[in-house]
Amino acid sequence: MNNNKPSYYLTTPIYYVNGEPHLGTAYTTIAADTLARFKRMQGFDVKFLTGLDEHGQKVADNAAAAGVSPKEWCDRLAPKFTDLWQALNISNDDFIRTTEERHTRAVQRFYEAMQEGGYLRKDTYKGWYCVHEETFYTDEELHQAGHADDHLCPDCGRPLEFDEEENLFFKLSEFEQPLLDFYAAHSDFIQPETRRNEVLSFVKGGLKDLSVSRTSFDWGVPIPFAEGHVSYVWFDALINYLTAVGYGDPDSQAAAEFARRWPAQVHFVGKDIIRFHCVIWPAMLMAAGLPVPERVFAHGFLLTKGEKMSKSRGNAMSPTDLCALLGGGLLPDGSLPPAGVDAYRYYFLSDVQFGADGQISLERMLQVYNADLANSWGNLVSRVLSMTKKYFEGKVPETAVGIDNSLAQIAAGLYDKVSQAMDAIDYSGACAAVMELVDAANGYIENEAPWALAKAGDAAKLAQVMYALLESVRLIALYFAAIMPSTSADVWGRLDLSDVTKADLKAESAWGLLPAGNQTKVGQPLFQRLKESDVL
Ligand code: ME8
């Protein structure tokens, strides 16, 4: 921990352990990882949290169906997530599981705080429950959704269960106006704008008190002051964001950590869980007397229906299959090819506008891969390093480092452009900004024709041109490092530079920092060109 740097705390949802991680959960996790990496490179003291939601009826039911205890079920599935995150180069600083002791303590403390504030009351819950969504539905909601007779879940369409039990209720209805006031005062809290409008109209429609404990079932955190009650899984889950930064821990260091880290800067979520994060969560925090996070960014869904991807390979295509395909197969030790992982990350971040739904397909993935990575960025690296070898025995040439060339001019505006896009969580915008320099550098090679300068014996001009190209390669790898960490680190290694993922982005963004005399290496192509037959 470095207390001199400002804290930047960001989270993904904690995923249910009811199955294996998939393209959707990987998408949110990669997106959060990219911002975490970028903020670290900007000098923030980042805490990036992900983890698992292990309580609730759904998990208990899955475990029972598999004939094991809920805890055994969670222990069996948890490594599937941690292994995949490691394989996808996810740089999380913590991995929380809601069955951990630290979390039980935090949940209990939180319920006590709500109780002390007078925000809980006992009542009988009589209504409908969807186990898959872990969500309660009133008769009125079912009526509005056209499911008053068939009693199917308005969100997932599965049959609902009727529930009648004594519960604790959270007085959510008291938070209608405080929430509306909060949204008005914090216009950036819910992003993108469409989601903000959706939440506003929902809250304006009126809020009802919410059942927040279960007595018919025991796979949850016991509520200390209510015998026989366990926490409602969504309350339990949301509180994870507090647990991970020390809430409920009596240790004084934990209290200092909490004061420094909370409120979080951004919660990454999918649009399916926006009400929990933008309505219930801020109301819970207000009830417990805690500040509300700065921002919730709800991205869209990845859709494959009707696309070749689902027809030929099935929707079940896993993140690891795709990384292996893009990277030309698994490595001999069975691990994923780093360039394949980077290409996978790049495709989802560059080609799907973050916030909107995205149609994804293998065809499109192949197209983006070949156009942007193999033919543009990878090809630039190969050409520049090969020419450096040919004309300067691989050494970065000595030259007057002017900024009077077109590449330096593009590079000069890049830090601001990329940072603004990243702060707006506009990954496709950030990728496009970096690709501008890639395209310009490829064009510069054609225009300046280093081979002609070499032939004409114009050593001074050749040195200038090659230096501008090498410097562009250094900067492109720098800006891509948060998105494609392995290949960027590879490129900096070939330029005889240190680990780019630990670089100070702002300081390194200046033009002309590549030291003359560095011994470069050509290496293998960064991204092998793929044929349709390799993938489809
Ligand atoms: O909701 N496209 O967990 P969950 C994009 N445990 N993202 C998708 C997706 C898709 N097709 N499918 C899933 C839960 N996701 C709760 C969260 S947090 C306090 C508790 C991603 O396993 C997306 O981020 O159902 C979505 O919000 C999340 O997975 C839901 O994960």
Residue-wise pLDDT tens digits, 23-33: 999 999 999 99
Distances (CA, A) of 234 to 271, 401, 511: 16, 57, 49
Of 285, 123, 290, residue with least CA distance to 208: 123
CA of 161 to the centre of ligand 1 (A): 22
Asked if residue 309 has pLDDT above 90, the reply is: no
Contacts of 374 (CB under 8 A, 6+ apart): 525, 527, 528, 529, 530
CA of 346 to the centre of ligand 1 (A): 20
Nearest CA to ligand 1 atom 4: 15
Asked if residue 516 has pLDDT above 80, the reply is: yes
DSSP 330: -
- Indicate the pairing of strand 296-299 with strand 190-191: parallel
- State the first-to-last Cα distance of the chain, in angstroms, to the nearest integer: 46
Alpha helices (H) along 374-405: 379-392
For 464-525, give the DSSP string. Answer: HHHHHHHHHHHHHHHHHTTTSHHHHHHHHHHTT---GGGS-HHHHTSTT-SPTT-B----S-
Give pLDDT tens digits for 453-495.
Answer: 999 999 999 999 999 999 999 999 999 999 999 999 999 999 9
CA of 150 to the centre of ligand 1 (A): 26
Over residues 299-328, mean pLDDT: 74
- For the ranges 235-244, 321-330, 385-394, the lowest mean pLDDT is seen at 321-330
The answer, yes or no, to whether any atom of ligand 1 lies below 6 A from the CB of 343, is: no
CA of 19 to the centre of ligand 1 (A): 12
Among 11, 14, 15, residue to substitute to test ligand 1 (most atoms within 8 Å of Cβ) = 15
The answer, yes or no, to whether any atom of ligand 1 lies below 6 A from the CB of 27, is: yes
Nearest CA to ligand 1 atom 7: 24
The answer, yes or no, to whether any atom of ligand 1 lies below 6 A from the CB of 237, is: yes
The answer, yes or no, to whether any atom of ligand 1 lies below 6 A from the CB of 242, is: no
Q: What is the pLDDT of residue 535?
A: 75
Nearest CA to ligand 1 atom 27: 270
Over residues 293-320, mean pLDDT: 73
For residue 247, the SS3 value is: coil
Asked if residue 90 has pLDDT above 60, the reply is: yes
CA of 310 to the centre of ligand 1 (A): 20
Mean pLDDT score across all residues of the chain: 94
Asked if residue 310 has pLDDT above 80, the reply is: no
CA of 494 to the centre of ligand 1 (A): 39
Amino acid at 266: V
Vertex 275: Cα angle to 177 and 175 (nearest 5): 20
For 39-93, give the DSSP string. Answer: HHHTT-EEEEEEEEE--SHHHHHHHHHHTS-HHHHHHHHHHHHHHHHHHTT---S
CA of 491 to the centre of ligand 1 (A): 34
CA–CA gap between residue 67 and residue 61 (Å, rounded) = 10
- By CB atoms closer than 10 A (0-12, 13-18, 19+), residue 434 is buried
Q: What is the pLDDT of residue 307?
A: 47
Nearest CA to ligand 1 atom 15: 24
Burial 360-369 (b: 16+ CB within 10 A, else e): bbbebbbebb
The answer, yes or no, to whether any atom of ligand 1 lies below 6 A from the CB of 90, is: no
CA–CA gap between residue 498 and residue 519 (Å, rounded) = 13
DSSP 159: B
User: Is the model's pTM score more than 0.85?
Assistant: yes
Over residues 371-394, mean pLDDT: 98
* For the chain, domain boundaries: 361-535
Superfamily the domain 361-535 falls into: Isoleucyl-tRNA Synthetase; Domain 1 (1.10.730.10)
The answer, yes or no, to whether any atom of ligand 1 lies below 6 A from the CB of 269, is: yes
Over residues 6-29, mean pLDDT: 95
Tokens of 280: 């219930």
